[in-house]
């Protein structure tokens, strides 16, 4: 920061002025009470290089800004109300307003605005031309770029409004009506980059308006009859971008270097016959209008010593209104919790869900239509890998023979079968087997230690790569895609084995002091690939101490070290290399 | 096998320090002793406040006290009968939730707090790990939700890796106070992997709705799990990616064609578009095609618009 004096001045003023302007008052005439406080202050924001990176959410207004916050809370017998508002700068304002009456009605409304600075890609790496035959003779493959708005400062303001109301139906203390609402509005500008194939790879950066609007409303009820608790919640979400879809001109398909008119005509035919569109303006970066409706029903039954049973069922439908596609989902789950004795507890879970996503017919022009060796039809059906059946089951056992020891172990299964592909055999299924074991040792109230080991085995963690290629099987039609096919479906950054260790030790010699140390470690591996093995290691030791000499003072410090190493997989280029 | 970095061996300063800390904890756990309580009969709030006046004053503004107006046994409603404790003054002779919690026995707080949010409390990692509700809640305080600390510090006390990640260059604005841990996580219900009831993908889409689809041209991992490419708690790489481009993309996709071409060295202009100029280097083609895949494949989350080439079957996610 180049203005240390100004920074110092702002902080000094805030420190000196606060005692005079901050105030609080407590008036307490039982059973009514109210507490309020007003805080005045300020902050200084300065940026040097790379502010778009470090100031992503903290950009605000440059220079010094005043700040103010007000809080108020009060109650009278069985009514209470609270308010908190904070003004940080014109782009960051928040408030919460809540109230409760007689444990019958409760409501909350909140607002939060913030600004998100977006990075600008300078595209400077996109400047290259091939050298023919490895000599320094310029060839036909090249990259160039241009910025239509080189000085643009991209970013958008986000406004979020939430409300939450709950009412117990008068005369029926066991029936509760609930309603929620949430709106997110994002307005500003963002960078959009589009390529101008095909005579050369020419990338153009454009400024595009951001005007995204998400609204969610939910309503439901909760009722209790005897030991059974029912709850229903219906939720409806819509998303729409009010900004116009940007448009880009795609170059005429022609050879990038050959200017001779006779040859040029042939090249235009050759390149044109490989393109879906060229020499025209087309929209890009289109954001579809979507909506989602979900219904969730839950039931809980308290069976006394026989335990609790929880059941849930959710039906949802999501639509892409722009493309006319929909996804339907039904899922159900059961949970059983029982304590066979004072020393043991068992938790069993099972769930089954089915998601069906619409298929889409993709119609394309013929490949190199009318040219020698051409005429292949690349039309295909896009099967969705979102179409699937997911089955899960788990059991957990906790044993606590006395207050000093606690042992827990669990095991689980998860199977995901993607079956919307006509000819994939068993490759579309991912199976996960999970297990964990741990214990907690607490010899007295001043010390406790906990250790947990977990393991997960995953079979076929990423079969969707292969499914992707099967979706229409277009690759078999071109020789170099055939070579790529050997690699797709085999390589992934997803592990087939995961090990994790979590160790925590705590020592609290008295009410004022506590010490803690811990270690977390994990290892993820995948040795099933035909090429390099995948491996990722994470380690994190930490130590922390807390000292609270008086109820008003709380001093704490901690140090942690994070180590994260993964070996990425890579393969050689398929063409020209 | 788990491969520890060199500076974690016992001979290294870091390793030796860790070993000393472990040894110290085990020594202290054996050396320091404590007792657990018994029960008795009720004596009433007035007697409790005679000794615990400071707690009593603080407690008057607490929601529990306000709900219990007119009740003379508010303290014992949670602490159990206190006659033996009052007679002998021994802290061990009264129920004290932090000390007397049992993971398999009855939880005093859940006796009243049985709402929907607590339906799934059983079986959570929190349930195994903590010593009851009082690990996070100060039951006598007047703080919001009776929390011992406010978010995110309360969560960071245990979840130290997330604390580190929240300070990484790419992060959700948790430290800036614009997002809180409980916006995504429900520590009480945690129906799906400790998140707020929805599947993790749906959770992300509730805010990032523009990416929800369904799209005509899909990117399969997007349908699977956002966590394949993103770590929501914070990353070194941009846009919460678990690895920088192009390495993340190359972990599933082969390198692009043309990538290994030797570059022309010097200034150039595109013959068919002379206004498009540049300076190329010998590594120029690699720099162009092996820096950031999403410069061209910008619609990586999915698109309804076909890309340009027929051979790519329109699914290159470039527009």
DSSP B108-150: TGGGT--SGGGTT-TT-HHHHHSSSGGGTB-TT--SGGGBSS-
Question: How high is the pLDDT of residue B254?
Answer: 75
**Separation between Cα atoms, residue A434 and residue A455, nearest integer Å:** 6
Mutate to test the interface with A, among B27, B70, B178 (most CBs of A within 10 A): B178
Chain-chain contact of A443 with B33 (C-beta, under 8 angstroms): yes
Tokens 């410069």: give the residue.
B295
Q: Which two tokens stand for residue A152?
A: 């643009």
Contact across the interface for A464 and B224, Cβ inside 8 Å: yes
β strands within A121-174, DSSP E: 128-131, 138-147, 155-168
Chain B residues within 8 A of A118 when measuring between CB atoms:
none
Asked if A113 contacts A92 with a C-beta cutoff of 8 angstroms, the reply is yes
Question: What secondary structure, in 3-state letters, does B251-313 show?
Answer: CCCCCCCCCCCCECCEEEEECCEEEEEEEECCCHHHHHHCCCHHHCCCCCCCECCCCCECCCC
For A490, which residue in chain B has the nearest alpha carbon?
B252
Per-residue confidence (pLDDT) for residue A501, from 0 to 100: 95
Q: Is A245 left (phi over 0), alpha (psi -120 to 50) or beta?
A: beta
How far, in Å, are A327, A418, A433, A463, A466 from residue A426 at the CA level?
A: 23, 9, 18, 10, 11
Cβ burial, residue A328 (10 Å; 0-12/13-18/19+)? middle
- Rounded-to-integer distance, Cα A83 and Cα A372, Å: 75
Q: What is the pLDDT of residue A426?
A: 45
DSSP, collapsed to helix, strand or coil, labels residue B151 as coil
Identify any residues that bridge with A426 across adjacent strands, giving them in sequence order: none
| pLDDT value of residue A199 | 57
Cα separation of A553 and A568, whole Å?
47
Structure tokens, A568? 């990425």
pTM (2 d.p.): 0.86
Low-confidence ranges of chain B (pLDDT < 50): 1-2, 31-38
Per-residue model confidence (pLDDT) at position B116:
52
Residues of chain B contacting A123 with CB distance shorter than 8 Å: 295
Interface of B with A in 32-61 (CB under 8 A): 32-36, 61
Task: From chain B, pick out residues whose CB is under 8 angstroms from the CB of A542.
Answer: 160
Read off the DSSP letter of residue A338. Answer: E
Q: Are A284 and B319 in contact (CB under 8 A)?
A: yes
Helix (H, G, I), strand (E, B) or coil at A245: coil
Would you say the ipTM is above 0.85? yes
Question: Contact, B299 vs A315, CB < 8 A?
Answer: no
Whether residue B196 lies within 8 A of chain A, CB to CB, comes out as no
At residue A365, the pLDDT reads 93
Q: Which residues 192-221 on chain A approach chain B with CB closer than 8 angstroms?
A: 192-195, 197-203, 212, 214, 216
Beta bridge partners of residue A394, listed in sequence order = A349, A412
What gap in Å lies between CA A219 and CA A233, rounded to an integer? 6
Averaged over successive runs of 10 residues, the pLDDT of chain A (577 residues) comes to 48 48 43 82 78 71 86 83 92 93 90 92 92 87 90 91 92 86 96 78 93 96 89 95 93 86 85 90 94 93 83 93 95 88 88 93 91 86 89 91 87 90 68 94 86 94 67 58 58 88 90 88 85 83 86 79 78 51
User: Touching check for B238 and chain A: CB below 8 Å?
Assistant: yes
Residue A233 CA to residue A543 CA, distance in Å, equals 44
Q: Name the 3-class secondary structure at B175.
A: coil
Q: Are strands A280-283 and A290-302 parallel, antiparallel or unpaired?
A: unpaired
Query: How many CB atoms are closer than 10 A to CB A206?
Result: 19
């Amino acid at each position: 920061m180049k203005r240390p004096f100004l920074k110092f001045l702002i902080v000094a003023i805030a420190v000196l002025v606060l005692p005079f302007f901050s105030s609080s008052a407590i008036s307490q005439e039982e059973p009514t009470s109210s507490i309020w406080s007003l805080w005045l202050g300020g902050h200084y924001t300065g940026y040097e290089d790379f502010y778009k990176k470090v100031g992503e959410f903290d950009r605000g207004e440059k220079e010094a800004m005043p700040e103010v916050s007000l809080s108020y809370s009060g109650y009278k017998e069985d009514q209470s109300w609270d308010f908190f508002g904070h003004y940080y700068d014109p782009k960051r304002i928040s408030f919460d307003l809540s109230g409760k009456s007689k444990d019958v009605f409760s409501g909350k409304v909140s607002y939060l605005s913030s600004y998100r600075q977006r990075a600008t890609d300078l595209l400077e790496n996109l400047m290259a031309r091939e050298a023919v035959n490895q000599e320094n003779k310029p060839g036909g493959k090249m990259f160039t770029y241009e910025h239509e708005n080189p000085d643009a400062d991209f970013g958008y303001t986000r406004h979020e409004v939430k409300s939450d109301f709950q009412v117990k139906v008068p005369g029926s203390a066991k029936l509760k009506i609930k309603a929620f609402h949430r709106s997110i509005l994002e307005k500003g500008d963002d960078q959009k980059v589009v390529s101008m194939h095909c005579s050369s790879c020419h990338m153009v950066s454009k400024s595009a308006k951001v005007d995204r609007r998400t609204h969610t409303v939910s309503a439901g009820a909760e009722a209790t009859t005897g030991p059974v608790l029912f709850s229903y919640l219906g939720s409806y979400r819509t998303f729409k971008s009010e900004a116009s879809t940007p448009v880009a001109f795609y170059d005429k398909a022609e050879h990038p270097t050959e200017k001779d008119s006779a040859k040029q005509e042939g090249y235009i035919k050759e390149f044109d016959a490989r393109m879906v569109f060229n020499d025209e303006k087309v929209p890009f970066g289109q954001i579809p209008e979507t909506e989602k409706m979900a219904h969730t029903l839950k039931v809980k039954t308290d069976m006394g010593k026989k335990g609790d049973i929880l059941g849930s069922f959710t039906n949802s439908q999501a639509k892409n209104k722009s493309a006319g596609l929909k996804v339907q989902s039904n899922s159900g789950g059961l949970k059983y919790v029982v304590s066979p004795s004072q020393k043991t507890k068992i938790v069993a879970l099972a769930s089954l869900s089915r998601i069906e996503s619409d298929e889409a017919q993709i119609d394309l022009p013929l490949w190199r239509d009318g040219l020698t060796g051409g005429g292949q039809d690349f039309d295909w059906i896009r099967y969705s890998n979102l179409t699937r059946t997911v089955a899960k089951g788990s059991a957990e056992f906790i044993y606590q023979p006395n207050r000093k020891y606690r042992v827990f172990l669990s095991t689980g299964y998860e199977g995901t079968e993607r079956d919307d592909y006509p000819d994939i055999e068993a490759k579309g299924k991912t199976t996960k087997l999970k297990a964990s074991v741990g214990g907690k040792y607490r010899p007295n109230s001043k010390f406790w230690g906990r250790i947990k080991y977990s393991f997960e085995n995953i079979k076929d963690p990423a079969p969707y790569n292969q499914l992707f290629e099967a979706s229409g099987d277009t690759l078999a039609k071109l020789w170099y895609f055939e070579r790529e096919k050997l690699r797709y479906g085999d390589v992934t950054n997803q592990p087939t084995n995961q090990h994790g260790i979590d160790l925590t030790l705590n020592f609290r010699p008295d009410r004022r002091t506590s010490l803690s140390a811990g270690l977390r470690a994990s290892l993820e591996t995948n040795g099933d690939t035909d090429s390099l093995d995948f491996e990722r290691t994470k380690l994190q030791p930490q130590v922390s101490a807390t000292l609270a000499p008086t109820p008003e003072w709380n001093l704490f410090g901690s140090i942690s070290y994070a180590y994260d190493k993964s070996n990425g997989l890579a393969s050689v280029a398929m063409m020209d290399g | 096998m788990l491969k520890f970095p060199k500076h974690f061996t016992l001979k290294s300063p870091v390793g030796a320090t860790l070993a000393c800390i472990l040894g110290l904890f085990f020594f202290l756990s054996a050396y320091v002793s404590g007792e657990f309580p018994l029960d008795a009969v009720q004596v009433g709030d007035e007697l409790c406040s005679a000794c615990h006046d400071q707690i009593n004053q603080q407690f008057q503004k607490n929601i529990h006290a306000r709900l219990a107006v007119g009740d003379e046994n508010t303290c014992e409603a949670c602490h159990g009968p206190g006659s033996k404790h009052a007679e002998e003054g021994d802290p061990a002779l009264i129920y004290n939730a932090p000390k007397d919690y049992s993971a398999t026995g009855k939880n005093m707080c859940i006796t009243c707090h049985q709402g929907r949010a607590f339906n799934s409390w059983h079986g959570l990692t929190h349930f195994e790990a903590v010593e009851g509700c009082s690990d996070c809640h100060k039951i006598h305080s007047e703080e919001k939700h009776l929390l011992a600390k406010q978010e995110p510090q309360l969560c960071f006390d245990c979840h130290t890796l997330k604390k580190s990640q929240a300070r990484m260059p790419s992060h959700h604005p948790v430290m800036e106070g614009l997002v809180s841990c409980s916006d995504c996580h429900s520590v009480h219900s945690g129906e799906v992997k400790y998140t707020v009831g929805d599947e993790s993908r749906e959770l992300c889409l509730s805010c990032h709705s523009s990416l929800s689809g369904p799209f005509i041209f899909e990117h399969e991992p997007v349908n699977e799990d956002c966590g394949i490419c993103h770590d929501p708690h914070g990353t070194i790489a941009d846009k919460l990616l678990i690895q920088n481009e192009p390495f993340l993309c190359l972990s599933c996709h082969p390198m692009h064609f043309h990538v290994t071409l030797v570059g022309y060295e010097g200034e150039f202009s595109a013959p068919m578009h002379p206004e498009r100029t540049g300076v190329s280097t010998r590594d120029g083609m690699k720099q162009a095609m092996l820096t950031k895949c999403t410069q061209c494949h910008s619609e990586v989350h999915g698109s309804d618009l076909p890309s340009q080439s027929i051979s790519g079957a329109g699914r290159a996610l470039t527009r």
